[in-house]
């Protein structure tokens, strides 16, 4: 799991460096507005790394939660919805990274899909009820990660003009 997080962060770093290099090498550079969005400033790239990190951490905690609630069918169904939302979010992030690496603007519908995946995960988590202190601890941690991922996603939209 640590490798997956590192790999996603490394992929974003490599894309950023490649885009910066391309802007200096290409005979026909990207239009300024697209190039600015692709490379992003420091805050934009921090936001990008934060959403990737938080989604990866949330995915790991959703797996933990799945094991903790495996004997509760209703809760297991909600955890499956959390996992499905996180998978959709990760898929969207990967599509955005792919678009950025190809010098394209991130598709708006894919950005929306990232938000929808996070919303699905948050809503499913909100519907799980338990009194088990270990499960409550995992759920609290997961809630913070999902909230931080959503905030970072909103920041990407705002900061990566």
Q: What is the dihedral of CA 127, 64, 122, 13, to 10 degrees?
A: 180
- DSSP per-residue codes, 18-59: HHHHHHHH-SSPPPHHHHHHHH--HHHHHHHHHHHHHHHHHH
C-alpha to C-alpha distance for 112 and 32, rounded to whole angstroms: 24
pTM: 0.77
Check residue 53 and give its pLDDT.
95
Per-residue pLDDT of the chain (161 residues; tens, 9 = 90+): 544 555 565 565 555 555 444 444 444 444 555 444 456 778 888 999 999 999 999 999 999 999 999 999 999 999 999 999 999 999 999 998 888 888 888 888 998 999 999 999 999 999 999 999 999 999 999 999 999 999 999 998 888 86
Classified as helix, coil or strand, 105 is coil
CB 8 within 8 A of CB 56: yes
CATH number, position 45: 1.20.1410
Residue 53 lies in domain? 2-159
Check residue 11 and give its pLDDT.
60
Check residue 108 and give its pLDDT.
85
C-alpha to C-alpha distance for 56 and 110, rounded to whole angstroms: 18
C-alpha to C-alpha distance for 115 and 92, rounded to whole angstroms: 9
| Side-chain half-sphere CA neighbours of 47 within 13 A | 19
Check residue 41 and give its pLDDT.
78
The single residue listed with the structure tokens 């338990």 is: 130
DSSP structure class, residue 103 = T
Check residue 62 and give its pLDDT.
98
Domain count for the chain: 1
């Amino acid at each position: 799991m640590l490798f997956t997080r590192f790999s996603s962060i490394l992929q974003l770093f490599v894309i950023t460096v490649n885009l910066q290099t391309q802007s200096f090498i290409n005979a026909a550079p990207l239009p300024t507005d697209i190039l600015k969005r692709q490379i992003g400033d420091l805050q934009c790239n921090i936001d990008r790394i934060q959403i990737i990190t938080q989604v990866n951490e949330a995915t790991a905690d959703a797996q933990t939660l799945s094991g903790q609630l495996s004997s509760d069918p209703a809760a297991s169904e909600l955890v499956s919805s959390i996992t499905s939302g996180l998978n959709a979010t990760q898929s969207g992030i990967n599509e955005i990274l792919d678009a950025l690496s190809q010098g394209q603007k991130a598709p708006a519908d894919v950005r929306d899909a990232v938000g929808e995946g996070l919303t699905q995960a948050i809503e499913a988590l909100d519907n799980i009820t338990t009194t088990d202190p270990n499960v409550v601890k995992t759920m609290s941690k997961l809630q913070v990660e999902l909230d931080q991922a959503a905030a970072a996603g909103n920041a990407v939209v705002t900061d990566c003009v």
